Amino acid sequence: MASQSSSVIFPRVIIIGGGFGGIQLAKNLKNKEVQVLMLDRHNYHTFQPLLYQVATGGLEADSIAFPLRKIFKGQNNFTFRNACVLSVIPERKAIETNIGEFYYDYLVIATGSDSNFFGSKELEHYTMPMKTIPEALNLRSMILQNLEESLIETDPVKKAALLNFVVTGGGPTGVELAGSLAELKRHVLRQDYPELNMDAMNIYLIEGSPVVLGPMSPQSQRSSREFLEEMGVKIMTDMRVSHYDGNKIVLSDGNEIVTKNVLWSAGVKGEVPGGIPLDKIARGNRIKIDEYNLVIGYTDIFAIGDVASMSTTDYPNGHPGVAPVAIQQGQLLAKNLIRIINKEPPVPFKYKDKGSMATIGRNKAVVDIGKIRFQGVFAWFVWMFVHLMSLVGFRNKLVVFVNWVWSYFSYDRGTRLIIRPFNRKSMTEDTQTK
């Protein structure tokens, strides 16, 4: 399966990761005089911005995933291998994987990010992250199983723990997840669980900074907070999680909340493969790169997207970990690789910020585009349109659109299924095999 780069006609470009950046790079290398080999531990691309809807029963997992091989159907210079990358060996221009070694002429690390628990093994074990489809399905099962268990629980403290939901992190993921839970409580669970007092279900959003949606405009921050509070979410800013033992969460001010449901979205870190020296790693466990996406100190290893840290005047700590950055870097790197192969000077990367947006719930969203800010119903439709068009595959666009229309008019969600019962051991195994 593996072959030396000297045995091929064209240079081999290996891309680790089938996320937004990796896909864009591979697409833009179509019909170029290179061999493209993509490695990923999954055989599908995940549309991560909608993972929270899978976790809260709004969508099925297969509507936000798309087979990587199908994306590149007909691209003759593309090959895919389903593999876990164990280590990069720069001195041999090789990659060690669970299915053997592969050799490259140019390597692109596009592995994205993973949940950051800031070194706390306790939080890593007991909280529920949501960065992959298996994690989203675990979260959905946990939510539904705890609701079912609350129906038969007679101890008031244990019952409260089953009905208290704590979302950590007030970024777009945390805000959207908290809003989705509030919508679920308001429109769906009251019908599904008529014997349960839904007023006893509490949703908390904990954020370490003074505001939610910190990267967005003050206007969007205020509006999103007002929307969430109107929906019954209890927002606690300037607050951090100190401890959580699976039953009780302790906050930085000493307050405690009994809960079996802590949903972790408080931070991310780059998912760096083994073999990258520590002196190449920047803040947030991201790989240091120059303005051409070249890993500092190398001439044939590049990094793009969430895993890469390009320090510029506008972004001294690296660009934001959002899909447009990865897509734009993938597009430019494809051009630069061909320029480098042809002995031409590469073009430096310049991020074009097209804006930020977040949805809070039905007819509630906030959008920042340049100096334009708007909120409410129109922002919500803009958010839906942008995300719908960004999905990979016509079928997925159609399925998600139909689901959204159905949910809008029926006030219902059709995927409240416990298909894979959640247990802590299975979640740990999922994490170890990622």
Q: The tokens of 49 are what?
A: 């911005």
* pLDDT, tens digit, 9 for 90 and up, residues 273-286: 999 999 999 999 99
State the Cα–Cα distance between residues 174 and 212, nearest whole angstrom: 9
| Whole-number Å distance between alpha carbons of 358 and 376 | 11
SS3 string, 45-77, reads EECHHHHHHHHCCCCCHHHCEEEHHHHCCCCCC
Q: What DSSP letter does each residue of 209-222 carry, written as one string? A: SSSSSTTS-HHHHH
**Is the Cβ–Cβ distance between 364 and 227 less than 8 Å?**
yes
> Which pLDDT score is estimated for 424?
61
- Alpha-carbon separation of residue 143 from 64, 228, 299, 320, 419 (angstroms): 20, 20, 48, 30, 13
As given in the structure block, the two tokens for residue 410 are: 């029926």
pLDDT by 10s per residue, the chain, length 434: 444 444 458 999 999 999 999 999 999 999 999 999 999 999 999 999 999 999 999 999 999 999 999 999 999 999 999 999 999 999 999 999 999 999 999 999 999 999 999 989 999 999 999 999 999 999 999 999 999 999 999 999 999 999 999 999 999 999 999 999 999 999 999 889 999 999 999 999 999 999 999 989 999 999 999 999 999 999 999 999 999 999 999 999 999 999 999 999 998 999 999 999 999 999 999 999 999 999 999 999 999 999 999 999 999 999 999 999 999 999 999 999 999 999 999 999 999 998 999 999 999 999 999 889 999 999 999 999 999 999 999 999 999 999 999 999 988 877 788 887 877 654 444 444 44
- Identify whether the C-beta of residue 309 lies closer than 8 Å to the C-beta of residue 282: yes
Residue 87 near residue 98, CB atoms below 8 Å: no
Distance of CA 162 to the CA centre of its chain: 26
Please tell me if the domain spanning 5-41+83-115+269-341 has the same topology as the one spanning 121-266+415-432: yes
Given 60, 176, 183, 271, the catalytic residue: 176
Structure tokens at 268: 């991310």
Q: Which residues, other chains included, contact 365 with Cβ-Cβ below 8 Å and sequence gap of 6+?
A: 357, 358, 359, 375, 376, 379, 380, 382, 383
pLDDT of residue 425: 54
Model pTM score: 0.90
164-175 b/e (C-beta count within 10 Å ≥ 16 → b): bbbbbbbbbbbb
The whole-angstrom separation of Cα 14 and Cα 114 is 21
* Domain 5-41+83-115+269-341, second-level architecture: 3-Layer(bba) Sandwich (3.50)
**Predicted pLDDT of residue 3:** 42
Helices (H), 209-260: 218-230
Q: Name the β-bridge partners of 35.
A: 12
Cα–Cα distance for residue pair 133/201, rounded to 1 Å: 26
Inter-residue contact 114 to 47 (CB < 8 Å): no
Q: Domain 121-266+415-432, what architecture?
A: 3-Layer(bba) Sandwich (3.50)
Query: Does residue 176 have an active-site annotation?
Result: yes
Locate the domains of the chain by residue range. Answer: 5-41+83-115+269-341, 121-266+415-432
Chain centroid offset of residue 166 CA: 19
Beta bridge partners of 263: 128, 167
Report pLDDT digits (tens) over 185-202: 999 998 899 999 999 999
The two structure tokens encoding residue 139: 């979260």
What DSSP character marks residue 241? E
Torsion from C-alpha of 187, 188, 190, 195, nearest 10 degrees: 180
